[in-house]
Structure 1
Amino acid sequence: MPRPLSKRWASWVVRYSWWIIGAWIILAITLRVAAPRWEDVALDGDFDYLPVKMSSVAGGRLLDEAFPGERSRSQIVLVLSRDPGENEKLRKTDAIVGLDLLRRLYHKLGEVSWQRAIKLGYEGGPDDNTQPWSPWIKLTREAFDTAIESDDAFYERIANNVPETAPTLEEPRLAIAYWDRGKLIESLGGQDDLVERDFEAALILKSRIPKLALPIGERDLTSWQSLLDVLSWQDPVIGSRLKKSGARLAVMQLSSELAATGNIATVEAVDQMIKDVVRYSGDFTEPGLKLELTGSAAIGGETLIAARDAIRYTESITVAMILLILAFVYRAPLLIFVPMISIAIAVIVSTSLIALLTDWSARGVVPGLDLRVFTTSRIFIVVILFGAGTDFCLFLISRLREEVSNQQLKRDWSLACEDGLSGVMSALIGSAMTTVVGLGMLWIASFGKFHYTGPVIALCLLVGLCVCISLTPALLRVIGPASFWPSTIVLKSDTVTVSIGDTSGDAGSSSLWSMIALQITRRPFLGLFLGLGILAFPAVYGFRQESAVTYDLSSQLSHAAKSRSGLRSLSSHFAIGEINPVTLLLVHDHDVAREDFDKQIKRLTKQIYAQEGVLTVRNADDPLGDFSPDREMGLLSGDAWKRRALRNHRAAQRHFFSSIDKYENRLARIDIVMDGDPFSLETSRRVSNLGKFLSAQASDPNADFSKATVLLTGTTPSIIDLRTVTLKDNRRIKVAVVIAVFIVLLLVIRRWLLCTYLIVTVLISYYATLGLTVLFFRYAYGGDFVGLDWKLPLFLFVILVAIGQDYNVYLVTRIVEEERRLGWIAALRRAVSRTGGIITACGLVMAATFFSMTSSAWLPAVAHLFGFEASGGGIALRGIVELGFALGLGVLIDTFYVRTILVPSFVAAIGTFRHRQSKAARLSDESSGD
């Protein structure tokens, strides 16, 4: 009779232990060297991964096509303000700080614009207005001019109090701006006297500038490369919209999406510029002045910074917690060493493999390979690999300890390792496959981050499983009985003497778990119904709160985030919607004369003003939305002059009508400022209603824009599309995960009623966990609570349903194994007694790894309490903190409640029910016989 596959595998692993160890080490080194860094291939952002059919995505692509290189997809807003109150007005001396900021900022704009022109082919020579680089060369000159004008005004105010420090390229005068403008005019073939004047000024300000100033094409402007333009309160035309009595704004328009990974460097560079300004100019004015940054890109960038810090904290705390738990469980150094080495190899191999495959996918090395990873994916990979990997190792070591403790069967260490691995193989594979299949079901999602993240984590877990069923037993085999040192194992010809911790003989026995098993089997129905009843209360609350989530990115940052502080200052003086307008794109299916097109837009603008929540409408006729349709003005009035000036401003030119031949007389762009926070549900509702109105216009055969393509894009339309897509994904994925995990359970356990019950228990556990999580954070955040992060319910569901089955599978497979030689009640009691301690340890490990995701919320404060400063920005990302808390709580509920009470009670109840039926049938047969 052929041996089972698990037995053959175990025998092979034991026989070739040294080869297996060497192979894994070589594979880890090879992949680590060959693979790119995770940071180099990781992507981020949410809106970029929506389906292409969504309005916001289609609108964004149309903007890129119709306005190439000019599309502002996000902003960083610099707010110079004083707190609202009796003395909220800015002081005259506050202008010194503002001018210092603007001179530096406009110079950066000039540098970036010049580099962009070079990339588009500019090599010198006069500008003939026909080249693709022409607009950027013009912007470069304007930016340098504005920087120097601001520098002159700045120095005029501080001339009598210049700090006695050595001059630099930027302090006290902006010498580099004069030098760069001279170089630009020279490259354009401009007037020699202007060039000489700028060079002379630069040399006077910094004599060594020819050696210090790199050529523009060689400067490292990576952090600023997404900068398209700067609009500030100093602008003579649009500046009035960017200043109030207590605040001034400078808006950096960026080409990057608000959560693009490049925004990390941009936000850090802008923050450093702010620090430099405050350091140099802050003492020239009265205390109380604030210079802060906010805006969509600042919020997105700080979100990514918080995620980066969370990854670093999570990895460190995860390792520390697992070391502590393993030390407490085993009190044996080598039994700590073996799991940690195994998991370290698993992490290196899996993350390097994923990074390599992602790089191949991006470069098209492997046809058909489509793989992407994200910044936050690494958090899930680390915690799940460390948690599940440690659990797998604990299961294996526990079974090995049982085998070496069995004096009747074992005569040598190799045989103990072989039987230990073969005995636990089915449980390990079944446990792992529930998680792998569950996470793999995210592949069916329409939302790109779900679609790619689930399979990536599943693949990493498969690598972890392979390590734990090959490398881990190979290490134990090679180390030998010394693995349990300082406990002793003496192998003899007929017996095995073992002393492990405080146990001897039957190392798996436990009086506590034996007592629990005894009580459950005595009163199974009481434990079953009482257990389900207690868990039902938070589960019902969680079910009702499942959709009460927030898509507000700014609310996910803690109050320590600079962008949130800046947002509060901004909202105290300006309408938030001003910096995040909704962009409407209208595309006729035929060419329209420009005069008729203008009239159509005016009529539509009047109708849009009548819609709920619309504050202003910006179009080619009214670029800033200053002049609503009911506002009268004379031909020669100041308002009429301002309107004409606005139409010719660089912010309006080519902004509202495309110069691309394909769209020149067909496409119109209108920016709509809505009342309210762009991320709020109320604003989303109003924008949705606006979209319905515009769609009705396109469907009306008598309307100006009949049969036109109508697209809304921008932050709020993207939030609306994100909500629509993810809600649909949630419903589909939950059904798919439940079916997939049920099939795996059925294949492993082969008892459909028990499998169905196991699914029901984890569903109840999920909803109970969700309910308790909502209650906890509602209390923790108080009035600042706006709902859990929108990603939490889905990831919590998938991970809990998948991982929550691990311990059930391990317990139930042990019950089935024991039932082959014992009665059902004895098998249940023995299985609970044998697995209780190890499953509890595994649950604590998994919960600890998930709770480590919350470390960004408390580690900096704890470190500061002990006189240390945690690295990073000290910003807690609420979404990760909430998910880590929820996952940790869910695992604890599964470990100490579901597996301890609900599952054994059900098995005992079914056994009792069948026993009573059998007894009744037997009595009936006896009665019939009589």
Structure 2
Amino acid sequence: MTAPTVGPPGRRESAGRAVVGLVTGRRTSWVVLGFWLVAAVVAAGFASRLGAVQDDEGSPLPAGAESARVLRVQTSAASDAPLPAVVVYTRPTGLTETDRGKLAADARAFAQRTDLGGTVLGPTLADDGTAAQLVVPLDLGPDPFDRVADAVGAIRQTARQDAAGMTVYVAGPAGSLADQSAAVSGLDGRLLLATVAVVVLILLVTYRSPVLWLLPVACAGLALIAAQAVVYLLARYAQLTVTADSGAILTILVFGTATDYGLLLVARYREELRHHRDPHDAMGLALRRSTPAVLASAGTAAAAMSCLLLAELSWTRGLGPVLAVGVLTALVVMLTAFPALLVRCGRWVFWPARPRYGGADIGAGASTSSGAAAAARSGTEADDSAVAGAGAIGWWNRIGRLIARRPRATWLATSLAFGALALGITQLDATGLTSSESFRGSHDSVRGEQVLARHFAAGVGSPIAVLSRPDQAERVRATLAAVPGVEPGSLTSTELRSGQAYLEATLTDPADSRAAYDTVDRVRTALRAVPEAEALVGGETAVRLDVQRTARSDRNLLVPIVVAVVFAILVLLLRSLVAPLLLVGTVVLSFGAALGASVLVFRHIFGFTGEDSSLPLYLFVFLVALGVDYNIFLMTRVREETVRHGTRRATLIGLAATGGVITSAGLVLAGTFAALTTLPLTMIVQLGFAVAFGILLDTAVVRSVLVPALSLDVGRYLWWPHRLFREADNA
């Protein structure tokens, strides 16, 4: 057989070797670390200002949405359309004359506020005499989120002073916004502590070293600072929408992905240290061998997340670049700063299980069924870490042999089990969360809304708003009053400075209820019968309804796009059509199982009555973008081994060789997302649990059982139409 001619390396390969040499060189590695030290100092200044550019109050709707058009007019005429704070007073035995005097005094005090956007309404007593309300219209400017907590706090303090046994709440849009502000206050710090604790615990168990865990955690922290700085600059100068939710997800995503990439690199580095006396040489080879899989993983995740740029909801559209920046920043830091730091530390950083030059070859042990036992029996030549690694490989060898006995039955049974879990989707209610469901725990505005619902028209404080031509205002008023679900006696009207007639009306149902949404639809249908009025329907209920429908539209658009993008990247990576098709199919199946199981947990364990309207899309993007990573780690190793061993044997080798590191990586990423469940925001809790559960499914079942079983059953056809399909020996 003629030996292949070896030519000079291409430009891309030469550039790659140059970068690797820079990162791992004896002198240049210090330069790399110095650069990142300076970059961290500079980036920290920008990262600390990220909270200042977060927009948690603005409408996420596209400019053409009907309720968004109304909101723009309301915002431009804030004194005509203020932010109402509804002060609720209640005494179960009935309000006394003294109580009524207190309410009148509070009304006079609220009327003296300098931030009023209109006339204080009330006090209005309930029919049963046990409750009353005051509506305080606030004008907090174009960005009320930063001021609402102080304003509502002052109102609450005034109302509760000398209340003499009355129970007082502040509800309405202002009260709800104030509770939201309190819920996200300090969120980043709490989440960061929880995330770091999870990562440190898993790394201590994985590495069994009191020192090694410090390096990936430090580099993950560096990546987070750099990512936050880039996101701040994009929000400040490129109008990127950043919310508290996206900032929280950025934190756990950067820590999770950075640690995953670090685990993969450390595994390769430890292996090469047994073949090279010089750590610089070992790191150079480890970096070259692990970089393609890491680049493919990060590129796939970033590309899938960037698809969110096509969304109509601004917070979904903004989330895509935020997450892509996080993944790519983690990639750069973990392929430059982390290997440079590792190589400067040398072998001692693995203490007490330091890999020794000439020790047992765990990677080679994975290539034969007896390799693990051989590594464990290697006596003086094998170090402690080698023996530990051999045990792990032996475990994955046994799993591989079990799957190989009946691969078709294995993947069929696994698919049926996933399908059964996916049936839970039938209980999915993604029509959005009500105000009371949006927060975990008890909140002042939620309790106030419950009192209002028992004693007054449920929509008080969140009226429906209608804009029309002034000459048609009376017809619009009459039409609106006749719509079921609208309180006829609650209609108020005025002419705005924009030259448009403005009408408000109270809904008979809670503003965030399904019944209220139906009323909005009825109002819109009725007003279309007056075409010359050019009426637009808005208000809090209309905004919520339009957000739900836009989220559904985004989901229907983006899901097939994300699938197509990931499939195309896998085709380029694996140079096959069959393997990418199977991998994407397994991840989509895993998504269905994760969503179905999560809905059942939400309904029967957490007690949630519904899901956030954006949850299905976010979960799909995360699980496809991150779940396919582990398939990439596995299949790139299988493809590498197929050249020498054929597809069947390569599958078993790939499973054994990558089993330990991928399991650790999956636990880290699942653990970081699980940290989201500690927060008081229901949507974040739902996303954190569902993603963590889905990643565990991907790690423990999809990558460990389903994909290997499919690969063994399909055999060499996995690589069709690449020449590997024809050349691989699959005997």
State the TM-score, normalized to the length of structure 1.
0.70
Kindly indicate whether residue 408 of structure 2 is the aligned counterpart of residue 531 of structure 1: no
Determine if the alignment matches structure 1 residue 586 to structure 2 residue 452.
no
1:677 counterpart letter in structure 2? P
Contact 1:310 1:855 in 2 (8 A): no
Q: Supply the AA of the counterpart residue of 1:692.
A: T
- Over the aligned positions, Cα root-mean-square deviation in angstroms equals 2.8
**CA offset digits 1:676-708 (Å, max 9, x no partner):** 11111222122112211211221xxxxxxx3x3
Confirm whether residue 54 of structure 1 aligns to residue 65 of structure 2. yes
Match of 2:134 among 250, 253, 259: 250
1:568 aligned onto 2:406? no
State the 1:575 CA deviation: 0.9
Could you tell me which residue of structure 2 aligns to residue 767 of structure 1?
592
Residues 847, 781 of structure 1: alpha-carbon distance in 2 compared, 3 angstrom cutoff? closer
Q: Is 1:38 aligned to 2:50, yes or no?
A: yes
Give the secondary structure class of the aligned counterpart of 2:133.
Answer: strand
Alignment of 1:375-454 (within 5 A): 375-405=244-274, 409-454=275-320
8 A contact 2:355–2:385 mirrored in 1: no
SS at match of 1:669: strand
| Cα distance change, pair 263–2 in 1 and its aligned pair in 2 (3 A) | same
Q: Distance in 1 between matches of 2:611 and 2:56?
A: 20
Equivalent residue in structure 1 for 2:605, among 775, 780, 783: 780
Report SS of the residue matched to 2:97.
Answer: coil
Change (3 A) 1:281 1:414: same
For residues 346-390 of structure 1, what are the alpha-carbon distances to aligned partners after superposition, in whole Å with 9 as ceiling and x for unaligned? 01111012213322x1xxxxxxx3423222211111111011110
Are the counterparts in 1 of residues 152 and 178 from structure 2 also a CA contact under 8 Å? no
| Aligned with residue 828 of structure 1, among 630, 651, 670 | 651
Note the alpha carbon deviations across 1:840-871, whole angstroms, 9 max, x for none: 11111111101100013xxxxxxxxxxxxxxx
Please, what TM-score do these two structures have when normalized by structure 2?
A: 0.89
Deviation, structure 1 residue 263: 3.3
Correspondence for 1:703? none
Q: In the TM superposition, what are the counterparts of 1:343-382 in structure 2 within 5 Å?
A: 343-359=220-236, 361=237, 369-382=238-251
Matches within 5 A, 1:829-848: 829-848=652-671
Of residues 332-341 and 299-308 in structure 1, the stretch that sits farther from structure 2 once superposed is 299-308
What CA distance in whole angstroms lies between the structure 2 residues aligned with 1:500 and 1:878? 48
**What is the SS of the residue equivalent to 1:345?**
helix
Q: Are positions 1:321 and 2:332 aligned together?
A: no
Counterpart of 2:169?
292
Aligned equivalents of 1:742 and 1:7: distance in 2?
29
Asked if residue 732 in structure 1 is aligned to residue 557 in structure 2, the reply is yes
What's the counterpart of residue 606 of structure 1?
478
Quote the Cα distance in structure 2 between the aligned partners of 1:755 and 1:671: 55
CA displacement, residues 175-202 of structure 1 (integer Å, 9 cap, x when unaligned)? xxxxxxxxxxxxxxxxxxxxxxxxxxxx
Contact 1:307 1:375 in 2 (8 A): yes
1:88-107 paired onto structure 2 within 5 Å? 89-95=94-100, 97-98=102-103, 101-102=106-107, 104-107=109-112
User: Which residue does the alignment assign to 2:180?
Assistant: 303
- Structure 1 residue 617: deviation in Å? 5.2
Task: Report the CA distance shift for 1:846/1:604 in structure 2 as closer, same or farther (over 3 A).
Answer: closer
Distance 1:349 1:743, change over 3 A: same
Write the deviation string for residues 567-619 of structure 1: whole angstroms up to 9, x where unpaired.
1111121112132221111126xxxxxxxx4xx54454333333222222555
Q: Which residue of the partner structure matches residue 81 of structure 1?
A: 90
Task: Say if 2:148 and 2:177, in contact at 8 Å, map to a contact too.
Answer: no
Task: Tell me, yes or no, if structure 1 residue 671 matches structure 2 residue 555.
Answer: no
Supply the AA of the counterpart residue of 1:485. Answer: W
Contact 1:294 1:562 in 2 (8 A): yes
| Deviating more after overlay: 846-855 vs 48-57 | 48-57
Rounded Cα–Cα distance in structure 2 between residues aligned with 1:336 and 1:273: 49
Moved more, 610-619 or 412-421: 610-619
Q: What is the match of residue 231 of structure 1?
A: 120
Change (3 A) 1:254 1:320: same
* Structure 2 alignment gaps of length 5 or more: 1-6, 363-379, 720-725
**Aligned counterpart for 1:513 among listed residues 375, 393, 396:** 396
User: Based on CA coordinates, which of the two structures has the bigger radius of gyration?
Assistant: 1
Checking the alignment, whether the CA contact within 8 Å between 2:308 and 2:317 is kept in structure 1 is: yes
What's the CA shift for 1:261? 6.6
1:828 to partner: Cα distance: 1.5
Partners of 1:494 and 1:566 in 2: how far apart? 68
Aligned counterpart, 1:339: 216
Counterpart in the other structure of 2:3: none
Q: How far apart are the structure 1 equivalents of 2:140 and 2:561? A: 35
| Partner deviation per Cα, 1:120-157 (whole Å, 9 max, x = no partner) | xxxxxxxxxxxxxxxxxxxxxxxxxxxxxxxxxxxxxx
**Structure 2 residue aligned with 1:693, among 514, 519, 526?**
526
- Change in Cα spacing, 1:317 to 1:882, as seen in structure 2 (3 Å) is same
2:383 and 2:518 mapped to 1: Cα distance? 64
Pick from 604, 612, 617: which aligns with 1:794? 617
Quote the offset at 1:311 in angstroms.
3.4
- Contact (CA 8 Å) 1:44, 1:375: kept in 2 or not? yes
SS at match of 1:670: strand
* 1:907 aligned residue: 711
3-state DSSP class of the match of 1:527? helix
Q: Give 1:14's match in structure 2, choosing from 24, 28, 37.
A: 24
Distance 1:495 1:735, change over 3 A: closer
Structure 1 residue 883 and structure 2 residue 687: aligned?
Answer: yes
- The farther-off stretch of 820-829 and 337-346 is 820-829
* SS in structure 2 of the partner of residue 249 of structure 1: strand
Q: CA deviation at 1:248?
A: 1.9
Q: Cα deviations across residues 426-472 of structure 1 (Å, max 9, x unaligned)? A: 11011111110111000011111111111121012111100011111
Identity of matched residues, %: 28
Deviation (angstroms), 1:99 = 5.5
- Structure 1 residues 302 and 500, CA gap change in structure 2 (3 angstroms): farther
Q: Distance in 1 between matches of 2:135 and 2:637?
A: 64
Q: What code does the residue aligned with 2:519 have?
A: R
Q: Distance in 1 between matches of 2:609 and 2:355?
A: 58
Aligned equivalents of 2:447 and 2:173: distance in 1? 13
Secondary structure at the residue paired with 1:789? coil
SS at match of 1:576: coil
Q: State the SS of the aligned residue for 2:309.
A: helix
SS at match of 1:291: strand
Q: Which one of 272, 275, 281 corresponds to residue 162 of structure 2? A: 281
Q: Distance in 2 between matches of 1:333 and 1:342?
A: 17
Q: Distance in 2 between matches of 1:498 and 1:242?
A: 85
Task: Give per-residue Cα distances to partners, 1:771-790, cap 9 Å, x unaligned.
Answer: 111111111354xx431111
CA distance in 1, matches of 2:346, 2:143: 48
| Letter of the structure 1 residue corresponding to residue 528 of structure 2 | S
Q: 1:605 to 1:323 in 2, by over 3 A?
A: same
Using the alignment, how far apart are the partners of 1:469 and 1:95 within structure 2? 69
In the alignment, the residues of structure 1 paired with residue 348 and residue 435 of structure 2 have an alpha-carbon distance, to the nearest angstrom, of 53
Moved more, 68-77 or 502-511: 502-511
Q: Give the 3 Å change call, closer, same or farther, for CA 240–403 of structure 1 in structure 2.
A: closer
Q: 1:499/1:381 Cα in 2 relative to 1: closer, same or farther (>3 Å)?
A: farther
Aligned partners of 2:641 and 2:361: how far apart in 1? 23
1-structure distance, mates of 2:551, 2:360: 63
Alpha-carbon distance between aligned partners in 1 of 2:381 and 2:38, rounded to the nearest angstrom: 35
Match of 2:535, SS? strand
Counterpart position of 1:160: none
Q: CA deviation at 1:820?
A: 2.4
Unaligned runs of 5+ in 1: 113-226, 234-238, 362-368, 589-596, 624-654, 699-705, 857-875, 916-920, 923-930
